[in-house]
Amino acid sequence: MRRTAALWGVRAALALASATSARGQTPLHGFVQGSYALRAVDADCPATFDCAVMRAEERLQVKIEQASRDGRAGALARLDLFHDALRAQADVEVRELSADVNLGRFSARLGRQVVTWGLGELLFVNDVFSKDWVAFLTGAPLEYLKLGSDALRLGIYPPFANAEVVVSPVFQPDRVPSGSPLFFFDPMSALTNRTTERPAVELDNMPVAGRLYRSFGRFEAALYASRGFYGTPGARPDNPAAPGQLILFHPRLATYGASLQGPALGGVLSFEGGYYESLQDRPGTDPSIENSQARGLLAYQLQPWTDGSLSVQYYVEAMMKHDAYRASLPPGLPARDRYRHVASFRLRQLGLHQTLQLGLFALLSPSDQDLYLNPSVRYQVTDELWAEVGGNVFSGKEPHTFFGQFEKNSHVYVTVRYAF
């Protein structure tokens, strides 16, 4: 049913595009892409597991934009048709589908849209919008880490500040690993009978996020707040004494934060902080629900030489009720540290008239003793076609830390994209 509707949407969009292309400009754009990833470590896979190949996917993205003559109203569709060879399935994914109005000091967009806030690179403090960790862990292009939100976004722009509010009628969880082809830390792996509880669709459960921002001279400041649910589920057995089923659920979450960014030391200096209030477990005594957390990020970016860019980040997250968490943690489960520290480093070098891009991105956690590395080479063969080869390497001392748990998912990937 969903698929029929989506296919109808593609057909309507194509009809719209061909009708308006008579104006001389074709509004139909998009790309054809192949993306493939091969596991780069010996994972000793069980028979039920797709082991060697982690991604084998062909994708057509169709992007259509239309606007009224005066530019005050517009519509955007970004639809992906894809074939997943690993699962032998083809489907349609609505990446974005929305209409908008833009009137002086006010704008609004209704429909599926991608919202990105905050200053971190792969370290999220105030960006609470849905993410696709499966795409990230299986070597998809980075833009696929962000999922569209079905939402109403309102922008109000009085002279003294800018405000944005995003309201989603239905909570959309993150896409998280749940099995083949991904390995991850699962403390209750024996419990295979699992069910997922989604927050009921009702007024009180609509995720809301807001941002207030303005600049002060060359500095930009922002305040953030949100109310919704943890994107990554918590897990609790139905009966702790004799568990028969594992219930995955999304606890309530409220976040508050601020950021500041501006020129300093010959580069750009950024600070972002946030408080994650775990509304369903304020005392921190429920081990199946995340502790309330404070998160802080300091980042610095500079251009050390021509066509090069270098950025470093330092990120800390602190569990606010660590003692209560330790006391309530069931025996046998590995305990998390009170503080998680992550340092990141990115070096990017362009060459051959910016058609060649060499990149190295690293996230290292001295507290978890684990790391993530992403070396990559991208070459823009023509204006239309680029190819990228790279690796996503995870490693850790212990199998339960954030990056360490993904060690067996380390892979090399290749993506080729023809844009039109």
Per CB under 8 A, 2 contacts other proteins: no
The edge-to-edge listing of strands for the beta sheet with 194-197 is 194-197, 246-249, 234-237
Distance CA 396, CA 289 (A): 24
In the bound state with other proteins, the residue whose beta carbon lies nearer, of 89 and 116, is 116
- The CB-of-160 to other proteins minimum distance in angstroms stands at 13
Q: Which of 14, 75, 206, 302 binds other proteins (CB under 8 A)?
A: 302
CB atoms within 10 A of CB 397: 11
Q: Which two tokens stand for residue 178?
A: 């749940």
Question: At a CB cut-off of 8 Å and minimum separation 6, what does 173 contact?
Answer: 130, 198, 229, 231, 232, 233, 250
Residues 126-145 that bind other proteins (CB under 8 A): 142-143, 145
- The pair phi, psi for residue 40, each rounded to 5°, is -105, 5
- The CB-of-342 to other proteins minimum distance in angstroms stands at 20
Per CB under 8 A, 114 contacts other proteins: yes
- The CB-of-193 to other proteins minimum distance in angstroms stands at 37
Q: Which of 49, 157, 184, 345 binds other proteins (CB under 8 A)?
A: 157
Distance CA 274, CA 315 (A): 11
Q: Which of 70, 200, 239, 244 binds other proteins (CB under 8 A)?
A: 70
Which stretch in 43-51, 266-274, 329-337, 397-405 sits in contact with other proteins by CB under 8 A? 266-274
Closest CA to 270 of 293, 301, 302, 224: 301
Which stretch in 50-58, 68-76, 250-258, 283-291 sits in contact with other proteins by CB under 8 A? 68-76
Binding site for other proteins (CB under 8 A): 29, 31, 65, 67, 70-72, 74, 100, 102, 107, 113-116, 142-143, 145-146, 155, 157, 162, 213, 218, 220, 261, 263, 266-268, 270, 301-303, 305-307, 309, 350, 353-355, 380, 382-384, 386, 417, 419-420
